[in-house]
Copies of this chain bind each other. A is one copy, B any other.
């Protein structure tokens, strides 16, 4: 969480001249979001999110992310709608950074989900997969299994300093993924980071999904596997069968899984746990001096992974 880049009143006014959104009322840096600097902007026409893209997001990927939000929002999927200036451009430059404005989604994340939240999250994920079905731009998933060995190499020697046995856990799971990863199951655009902090609820209903900056093309069931990690464990990282059954039922109420996806789900869920374990571990071991962000604990995912390794059949996820 942090504001990495400060925006002056003058630079903001200059930036906003390109848009037809009225006058600025206020600008508050938001504490939250590891990748980018986000401001909540009150304008005379409403509230917006102003995002300045920091180093961890590759500029070449921005058209994919912004185009995707635009594509989804115009199809009625509840996500931020990128604002376009008078020339139709959604991407500009502010304070030396690529910057974009989107509509502001009201709603709050739930800290402690219940089965109802999980069901709605599953439904929303399936709706996202369907709505993105005809999105033409593509982006490779850099954090798919082929991207893991470099993360493993960078962190394995020090993994056991974080948790006894973590190095073995990681190398064993990498080996499993390399041998069992599915090859021919439905693929498309996935969110790839639909954790609780990226899903908003308003008066008990899901009000929107945010943060598309990991979105990419991959197996749809891999997104579900990430969702299992995100929604189906409690605050102590213990698996909750009721949450998982609800999440998958919610998903299947919109899009039914094929047999190949069901069969692959245990492997994909383990792989998703490994993927987040690896990025968290690398962040944990490499906190830069003067960091504004406290890294997340990798042990939240080693514990998930150890449980998921015991799941032999997708039925254990509560699939019916």
Q: Are A9 and B111 in contact (CB under 8 A)?
A: yes
A3, CB-defined interface residue at 8 Å: yes
| A106-B40 contact in complex given A3-B1, A10-B111, A111-B10, C-beta closer than 8 Å | no
Number of this chain's copies in the complex: 2
Q: Does A158 contact B (CB under 8 A)?
A: no
State A107–B26 Cα separation when bound (angstroms): 5
- Asked whether A35 is an interface residue with its Cβ less than 8 Å from the other chain, the reply is no
Determine whether the beta carbon of B202 is less than 8 Å from that of A9: no
Distance A253 CA – B47 CA, assembled complex (angstroms): 37
**Structural contact, B24 and A108, CB atoms closer than 8 A:** yes
Whether A29 lies near B8 (C-beta < 8 A) is no
Query: At the interface, yes or no: A57 with Cβ under 8 Å from chain B?
Result: no
* Residue A172 at the chain B interface, CB threshold 8 Å: no
Residues of chain B with a CB closer than 8 A to A42's CB = 47, 106
Is A62 engaged at the interface, CB distance under 8 Å to the other chain? no
Q: Mark A80-104, 1 if CB is under 8 A from B, else 0.
A: 0000000000000000000000001
Nearest Cβ distance between residue A25 and chain B, in whole angstroms? 4
Interface residues of A in 91-129 (CB under 8 A from B): 104-112
Instruction: Check A290 for interface membership: any CB of B closer than 8 A.
Output: yes
Q: Summarize A's interface: helix, strand, loop or mixed.
A: loop
Residue A180 is within 8 A (CB to CB) of chain B in the complex: no
Tell me the complex Cα distance, A249–B28, Å.
Answer: 31
**Interface contact B112-A8, CB-CB below 8 Å:** yes
Which A residues have a C-beta under 8 Å from some C-beta of B? 1-3, 6, 8-10, 12, 23-32, 40, 42, 47, 104-112, 200-203, 290, 292, 294
Could you show 14 A-B contacts with beta carbons less than 8 Å apart? A1-B29, A2-B31, A3-B31, A3-B32, A6-B111, A9-B201, A10-B112, A26-B104, A28-B28, A28-B32, A29-B30, A30-B30, A31-B31, A40-B40
Other 20 A-B pairs with CB < 8 A, given A23-B203, A26-B104, A290-B294: A1-B3, A1-B31, A2-B31, A3-B31, A3-B32, A9-B108, A9-B111, A9-B201, A25-B107, A26-B107, A26-B108, A26-B200, A27-B108, A28-B30, A28-B31, A28-B40, A29-B31, A29-B32, A30-B31, A42-B106
